Structure 1
Amino acid sequence: MQRNCWLRLTMLEDQSGANQGHLVNIAGRQRMLSQRLGNLYMLLSWGFDNPELRADYNKAKREFDEALLELISAQENTPQISSELKKVSQNWDMFKLSDRMGDNEYVPGLVARMLDKILIQMNDIIGYYAALP
């Protein structure tokens, strides 16, 4: 399912020939990364911690951070998109509080709520980017 969605977003980016398609693609990837982070975090909180899982989790966080900065700095952003990205950034900062927990201490409820909000917000942002002239 995720692969099909990713392929469609990539095709949209290729066909658009504009930065708009690229922004839709990045926003779609952010949506996927929020789900991936949630899944990885839950596995870690349940004790399935190993170096490969931890590396995947850290890579996904880094990719989300980098892409969020790219979206925030996009010249195509309307005031509405900028406002929504600010909300995503605030929820992302709340999510990152989970990293401040001690070893083997997790807050799955907080993480699930923040990442669910980010998923919904990124879905809206995809629509806003797709509607750009």
Structure 2
Amino acid sequence: MTKTKRIMIADDDPGILDAVGLILEFEGYEVHSTLNGSAILSMASEFPDLLLLDIWMSGADGRDICKKLKQDPATCNIPVVLISASKDIERSALDAGADDFLEKPFEMDVLLQKIENQLKKTG
């Protein structure tokens, strides 16, 4: 039996956290979520298998968080999918080290495919 994959979602919209969290749990993932993107940087040793990170959060820019995670040897291999309602910043999301980008509003099928693709890469 394979270990349940853990996904951390950071978004300052509680509706998105609830909706995406429910669907991911239904798909068999263990989901943790936070309204505070900065909290991701203070995660204990319990790192997720994948991060879904909103770019525009109050008090935190997902791109800055992504850069810090990718520079830390302990977290640099965690796939990060940055999410934003602004399609014009996909390039800067990828430049920040994101493994993928998703524009809001998004289809859940597209999100699930991106998650699956990233988790396949990491094993």
TM-score (norm 2): 0.32
Larger gyration radius, structure 1 or structure 2:
1
Greater relative contact order structure (CA < 8 Å, 6+ sep): 1
Compare the two structures and name the one with the higher strand fraction.
2
More helix by share: 1
TM-score normalised per structure 1:
0.30
